[in-house]
């Protein structure tokens, strides 16, 4: 049967939430970063998820034709927050301008913590789903034992 | 003489139940994985309706028995539940167009899991009963 399909769907969910968690950690770690490779302060990063229901490959099209409805999660991209940076008055900072202002990343600690909790919960939900899939597959193996 | 119902009847029905439950599982898992995907519309399989469809379906292909002593053969039928987009929750405070209700999904997952296991267990018991009959009871000792 297509329990492997269910497992795959859950694993895409896990991967998506893990990536989100990585981005949140990176946002939290760089809350005061004023220098980046691209120049300027760090910009807050966020993941964009998309459901894959389009039939890109032969296998997916075949599965769909056989009636196996499934929608994996896909990481459509990582976007950077385009909002302007915050200005902080700190004349002794090496990156301060003539007026004594430093541009610092616009990261809201509260927002990041809330996103972290939702990512954790979603991850746990996917883990529960994988456990359920496993128990069903094992139960099916017991038939005829 | 009473027809010998070895592989017909309830085993057929239960195997259909397993099929529908497993496609329902697929759908629930997809909804859980996409709980944070913007504009994702949750979908669902109505298991009871699918099972009714099975019971009432007259167009199923059956093998004809030309001898009364032939064993009954299971009908060939479409074994997938069809999913449909679930109704939009009446009160949703989410602004991203996603219609997944995670609490309901987790409850559905548990319920579906239990009922699948129950159906699998009943089939297992049935086969064990048959085995016991074949071996003449007491495990053939």
Write out pLDDT tens, residues A91-126. 999 998 999 999 999 999 999 999 999 999 999 999
CA B109 to CA A47: how far, in whole Å? 27
More confident residue, A34 or A60: A34
The yes-or-no verdict on residue B92 having pLDDT over 50 is: yes
Nearest by CB to A139, which of B33, B106, B120? B120
pLDDT tens column, A136-145? 999 998 887 7
CA B16 to CA A110: how far, in whole Å? 49
DSSP codes, B41-79: PPEEE-HHHHHHHHHH-TT-B-PPPSSTTSPP-PPB---
Report the complex ipTM.
0.76
Query: Taking CB atoms and an 8 Å limit, are A71 and B33 in contact across chains?
Result: yes
Provide the percentage of residues in chain B whose pLDDT is more than 70. 74
Average pLDDT over residues B49-62: 67
* CA neighbor of B14 nearest in space, from A48, A57, A67, A140: A140
The yes-or-no verdict on residue B129 having pLDDT over 90 is: no
pTM of the model: 0.78
Tell me how close the Cα of A99 comes to any Cα of chain B, in angstroms. 41
Tell me how close the Cα of A137 comes to any Cα of chain B, in angstroms. 9
A115 part of contact set with chain B, CB < 8 Å: no
CA distance readout (Å), B136 to B124, B125, B126, B139, B141: 18, 16, 15, 7, 8
Q: How far is CA A94 from the centre of its chain?
A: 34
Lowest mean pLDDT among A99-108, A126-135, B1-10, B100-109: B1-10
The yes-or-no verdict on residue B5 having pLDDT over 70 is: no
pLDDT band at B51 (very low <50, low <70, confident <90, very high): confident
A136 part of contact set with chain B, CB < 8 Å: yes
The yes-or-no verdict on residue B76 having pLDDT over 60 is: no
CA A24 to CA A111: how far, in whole Å? 10
Q: How many C-beta neighbours within 10 Å does residue B66 have? A: 6
pLDDT band at B61 (very low <50, low <70, confident <90, very high): low
Average pLDDT over residues B77-85: 66
To 5 degrees, how large is the angle CA B110–CA B114–CA B120? 145
Provide the percentage of residues in chain B whose pLDDT is more than 90. 19
Tell me how close the Cα of A38 comes to any Cα of chain B, in angstroms. 29
The yes-or-no verdict on residue A22 having pLDDT over 90 is: yes
Contact B55, B85 (CB under 8 A): no
> What tokens were used for A86?
């915050």
- The phi, psi pair for A50, rounded to 5°, reads -140, 145
Mean confidence (pLDDT) of chain B: 79
> What tokens were used for B64?
């004809």
pLDDT band at B78 (very low <50, low <70, confident <90, very high): low
Query: Taking CB atoms and an 8 Å limit, are A13 and B33 in contact across chains?
Result: yes
Give A130-134's long-range contacts (Cβ < 8 A, gap of 24+): A130/A7, A130/A10, A130/A11, A130/A14, A132/B25, A132/B109, A132/B110, A132/B112, A132/B113, A133/A3, A133/A6, A133/A7, A133/A10, A133/B25, A133/B29, A134/A7
Nearest CA in chain B to A48: B37
């Amino acid at each position: 049967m297509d329990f492997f399909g269910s497992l795959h769907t859950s694993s895409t969910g896990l991967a998506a939430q893990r990536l989100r968690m990585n981005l949140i950690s990176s946002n939290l770690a760089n809350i005061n970063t004023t220098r980046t490779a691209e120049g300027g302060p760090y910009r807050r990063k966020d993941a964009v998820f998309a459901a894959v229901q389009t039939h890109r490959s032969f296998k997916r099209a075949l599965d769909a034709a056989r009636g196996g409805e499934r929608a994996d999660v896909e990481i459509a991209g990582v976007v950077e927050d385009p909002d302007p940076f915050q200005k902080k008055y700190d004349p002794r900072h090496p990156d301060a301008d003539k007026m004594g202002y430093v541009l610092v990343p616009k990261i809201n600690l509260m927002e990041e913590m809330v996103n972290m909790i939702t990512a954790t919960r979603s991850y746990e939900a996917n883990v529960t789903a994988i456990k359920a899939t496993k128990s069903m597959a094992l139960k099916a193996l017991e038939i005829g034992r | 003489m009473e027809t010998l119902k070895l592989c017909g009847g309830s085993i057929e029905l239960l195997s259909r139940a397993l099929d529908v439950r497993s496609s329902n599982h697929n759908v629930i898992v997809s909804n859980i994985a996409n709980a944070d995907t913007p504009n994702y519309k949750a979908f669902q399989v109505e298991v009871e309706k699918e099972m009714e469809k099975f019971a009432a379906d007259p167009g199923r292909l059956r093998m004809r028995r030309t001898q009364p002593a032939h064993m009954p053969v299971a009908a060939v039928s479409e074994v997938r539940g069809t999913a449909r987009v679930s109704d939009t929750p009446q009160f949703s405070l989410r602004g991203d167009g996603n219609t997944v209700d995670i609490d309901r999904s987790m409850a559905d997952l548990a319920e579906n899991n239990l009922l699948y296991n129950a159906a699998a267990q009943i089939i297992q018991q049935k086969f064990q009963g048959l085995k016991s009959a074949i071996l003449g009871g007491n495990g053939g000792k």
